[in-house]
Amino acid sequence: MLKAEATCSFDDKVISDTLSINRAAYPEGWAYDDAEEYYTQVLKESDNVHIMLRDNDKSVGFLLAIPHNAAVRELKEDDPSMRENASIYYIENVAILPAFRGRKGFSEMLRVLRRQLRKRAIFKISLHARVSNGLSKAIQKNMTILKIRRIDAWRYYNFEEPTDYIEAEWSC
């Protein structure tokens, strides 16, 4: 059974596991050029939420959420339609190793994210969700959609594939 937990300390193993999952979970060419530097920096920022998905002691997935306004600043050229909102968190990245997909790991990470964000009085999320891998549908299934718009050729990931920008809140 997969179990998700918020990561509170960011040692070399957490960073190494995150980098390893990131490389194995995405198509070639999607990795950040400076992935180690990026994750080392972003995982240490106290406003960010990092959730690790585990199968027993093995890390098999992760979810990284950042304040929405930080994402707006980061993505202003890639998605100029995004607007600031301090009461939303942005799912920056979610990755699950291929062998562990379809086992409710994403739902488990969302459950832990919800619990972590409640502590901050945050009840909404935003993200750019790939359509081709089912992430957009998974969000729509698990949450109440407040806003959704299709970006036909999202260049941010180095591929031109449809991506949905979603703002959502938990149903209950």
User: pLDDT by residue (tens digit) across 104-154?
Assistant: 999 999 999 999 999 999 999 999 998 888 889 988 988 999 999 998 877
Per-residue tokens: 35: 């992935």
**Mean pLDDT across 27-55:** 86
- Taking the CA atoms of 62, 49, 80 and 145 in sequence, report the sign of the dihedral they define: positive
Q: Higher-confidence residue: 159 or 110?
A: 110
Classify burial at 97, counting beta carbons within 10 Å of its beta carbon; exposed 0-12, middle 13-18, buried 19 or more: middle
Look at residue 158 and tell me whether its pLDDT is greater than 60. no
Provide the domain limits for residue 134: 2-169
Q: How many domains does the chain have?
A: 1
The encoded tokens of residue 9 equal 């300390």
In whole angstroms, what is the distance from residue 18 CA to residue 95 CA? 9
Phi, psi (deg, nearest 5) at residue 7 = -90, 125
Q: Both ends of the chain: CA-CA distance in Å? A: 25
What's the CATH number where 55 sits? 3.40.630.30
Indicate the DSSP class of residue 120: T
Prediction pTM value: 0.92
Find how far residue 132's CA is from the centre of its chain.
16
Q: What is the mean pLDDT of the chain?
A: 90
Spatial separation of the C-alpha atoms in residues 91 and 20, rounded to whole Å: 19
88 confidence band (pLDDT: 50, 70, 90): very high
pLDDT above 80 for 36: yes
